[in-house]
Amino acid sequence: MAASAPIIKPIFLSIILAISVAFFSSSPSLSQSLPVGDFQEFCGHANQAAYCIKTIDEYTAQPILKVNDQGWLQILKLKALSLLSSTITGIDNAIQVGPPTVVLDALTFCKSVAINTTISYLSPLDFTVISHDQYIKYQLESASAYTSFVYCINYFNRIFPVQNPVGVLIDQTYETLKLLLECVNIYQCKQKSSCL
């Protein structure tokens, strides 16, 4: 791995929280409280509303998850994990080709981030059982998963300014992690009947 590869472990939890709040504040304005509704309405408050709706609408593995907002968050988490798995497979396939050292370093770095940091933050979270006193933990872990992957996408895009198959997977994973973090904040806004 290149010596210049950045340190991927977040150091200050306050920085993670600040990033999370920043994403929430960039979302479309919410009313005093979100009315009860289906996932189309919930997703409608996200910047990536169409992608959010599409992801939840197409999910069929566990239909029970489509019943409420905690299930919708779980679906977005599972989508992110699925994309992370596909990204790792894509990276492994690219490595087998025997790329130049600079390319190999970028691929190896992103794989390390995905396995050792992003997945480790995301996997333990079960949004179907999230409670009020667990919210900060879930927010921090979601923000940490997103933040860790930012290092990957920034490093990778410096090496590959032109889009490629692995880059597409990395971009999709990044956007899904970003959407999950945003929706975690929308969920909290709904529970508190107020916004950050």
Q: How far is CA 138 from the centre of its chain?
A: 12
Average pLDDT, the chain: 82
DSSP state of 90: H
What sign results for the dihedral spanned by CA atoms 126, 132, 134, 140? positive
Query: Nearest-5° angle of CA 122, CA 95, CA 10?
Result: 30
SS3 183: helix
What 8-state DSSP symbol labels residue 4?
T
DSSP string, 153-173: HHHHHHH--S--HHHHHHHHH
pTM value?
A: 0.80
Quick one: which of 27, 23, 112, 121 has its CA closest to 80? 121
| Residue 4 neighbours by CB under 8 Å, 6+ apart | none
Taking the C-alpha atoms of residue 44 and residue 42, their distance in angstroms, rounded to an integer, is 5
Domains annotated for the chain, with CATH where assigned, are 40-192 (1.20.140.40)
- Residues 126, 73: Cα–Cα separation, whole Å: 9
Q: At residue 112, what is the residue type?
A: S
DSSP state of 124: T
Q: pLDDT digit string (tens) for 12-65?
A: 344 444 544 454 444 444 433 434 448 998 999 899 999 999 999 999 999 899
Question: pLDDT tens digits for 126-156?
Answer: 999 988 778 889 999 999 999 999 999 999 9
Contact predicate 5/155, CB 8 Å: yes
